[in-house]
Chain A
Amino acid sequence: MSKDQDAALLEDCKRGDRKALDSLVRRYERQVFKVAVRILGNRDEAADVTQTVFMKAFENLHKYDAKRRFFSWIYRIAINESINQLNRRKNADVLQEHLGVSSDRPDNQFENDQMSSELRWALDQLSSDQKTVIVLRHFVEHSYDEIAEVLGIEPKTVKSRLYSARQKMRDTLLSKGILEA
């Protein structure tokens, strides 16, 4: 989808055109959901985050820099919201541990086989920065330049984060016998 088409839809949205909103949401909702669910590993949380992403994006439309592409802006919000949700979850887990309450949250609702579970576990061993580049590269299939634009970093930093993330995932999956030595 072109930058110009997004810009035209955004202008229509600013005039209160809900059909334009419908179109813009349809363009990006699945990708935003995909990013969130891959970072969070939980479908319900990802759905909540996806809703929040669009709500915040349109609340802050006046802050959007039209020189940037809309997708990079909305993905950035999606990543920040997903990481915030991860941190909230970690804090809640720590609190529950202190209180001696076990968490019964189904973290991996969409996993239905052992392989998915191992992959999820390997992803969860990564830092937020590393996980983000893996998700954008392997699940959303962004190039180094596109990832750099979304995250507001240099392409060489993307490359180096991807390198260390893959090294770590490779080591984890080798130790589990998922990858062949």
Chain B
Amino acid sequence: MDERSQALIQAELDGELGSEQQQQLEALLEHSGEARIYQRQLRQLHELLQQDAEPEFPDDLHASILASVHLPKPKRGLASYLSPVNMHFRYGFAALATFGLALGVYKYNTGFELQQDTSGLVGTMMPMSEPGAGTGRAIDRISMSRDDFSAELTLRGGGDSYQLQLSAQARKPMNVLIDLGSSGLRLDSGGDSVADDARNTRVRIEFQGQKELTLNLVPETETASAGDIGYSWRLGDKVLESGYLRTQAEPEHN
């Protein structure tokens, strides 16, 4: 059997045959016993490799990896410099500001004059959104990984809207149950996801293969502030792992 025929059989094994090549292969196998033996041997080789015992992933490896990886320290905003921890900076800043103000008053004090008539202006106080709201930054994230299943939930947003993103890959039919019952939030929209209660607070998402989905969550009432969101990864009704996602970002630590 020539090299081209062998390459054809190998491409079939890899699922890389076009329709024309498929026809060529079928004709080859019909007329050549040698080709059929070669195909059987390659399939056997493939099965042996597939069946070879998978070495177990070491229990402590994940923790060891995390311990050995160094990330840049989170950037600090001006607010952190003004925190009680940075006393020297605060006193220095205050002294400098006082000196600058005094100098300005001494040198330029000609009395304040309004340049335009403001008697007709009406002001409105706008509420500021919560820190981190609307920036798209992750507030909390949990992930889970097993040999036949890996998935994660990321919560973004804040204030009056949250986005809960699911990214998952599973060989078996899995599901995740999102329980918003005690969070004060409800499902607003989320692809083909439907809540299975009248309050729209229990959402079960089924998945097998790859799944990417975003749920939009909103407060149940205008005054409600969001509490933690419950989740549980499930194989059928069997709970594999459960926990809570925080809806409030943790303060940065210096």
**B is a partner of A:** yes
B1 to chain A, nearest CB (A): 12
Whether A16 contacts B73 in the complex (CB less than 8 A), given A26-B150, A144-B14, comes out as yes
**Is the pair A2, B48 in contact by a Cβ cutoff of 8 Å?**
no
Q: Which of B14, B41, B141 contacts A19 (CB 8 A)?
A: B141
Whether A51 contacts B41 in the complex (CB less than 8 A), given A15-B72, A15-B75, A116-B53, comes out as no
Contact with A along B53-77 (1 / 0, CB 8 A): 1111110011011101111111100
A169 to B46 CA separation, bound complex (whole angstroms): 11
B227 to chain A, nearest CB (A): 20
Summarize A's interface: helix, strand, loop or mixed: helix
A107 contacts the other chain (CB 8 A): no
**B7 / chain A contacts, CB cutoff of 8 Å:** 159, 163
**B205 / chain A contacts, CB cutoff of 8 Å:** none
B121 contacts the other chain (CB 8 A): no
Summarize B's interface: helix, strand, loop or mixed: mixed
**Is the pair A19, B140 in contact by a Cβ cutoff of 8 Å?**
yes
Name A residues whose Cβ lies closer than 8 Å to a Cβ of B. Answer: 1-2, 5, 12-23, 25-27, 29-30, 33-34, 37, 43, 46-47, 50-51, 54-55, 58-59, 109-113, 115-116, 119, 134, 137-139, 143-144, 159, 162-163, 166-167, 169-170, 173-174, 178-181
**A110 / chain B contacts, CB cutoff of 8 Å:** 53, 55-56
**Is the pair A23, B61 in contact by a Cβ cutoff of 8 Å?**
no
Give the number of A-B contacts (CB < 8 Å).
Answer: 148
**Is the pair B14, A43 in contact by a Cβ cutoff of 8 Å?**
no
B16 contacts the other chain (CB 8 A): yes
A7 to chain B, nearest CB (A): 12
A126 to chain B, nearest CB (A): 12
**A43 / chain B contacts, CB cutoff of 8 Å:** 55-56, 58
Q: Name which of A22, A37, A46, A134 has the most chain B CB atoms within 10 A of its CB.
A: A22
Contact with A along B197-237 (1 / 0, CB 8 A): 00000000000001010000000000000000000000000
B193 contacts the other chain (CB 8 A): no
**Is the pair A29, B55 in contact by a Cβ cutoff of 8 Å?**
no
Whether A166 contacts B42 in the complex (CB less than 8 A), given A33-B57, A137-B14, comes out as yes
**A27 / chain B contacts, CB cutoff of 8 Å:** 143, 145, 150, 152
**B41 / chain A contacts, CB cutoff of 8 Å:** 170, 174, 179-180
Q: Which of A2, A113, A119 contacts B212 (CB 8 A)?
A: A2
Whether A37 contacts B55 in the complex (CB less than 8 A), given A26-B143, A26-B152, A144-B14, comes out as yes
B10 contacts the other chain (CB 8 A): yes
**A139 / chain B contacts, CB cutoff of 8 Å:** 49
B42 to chain A, nearest CB (A): 6
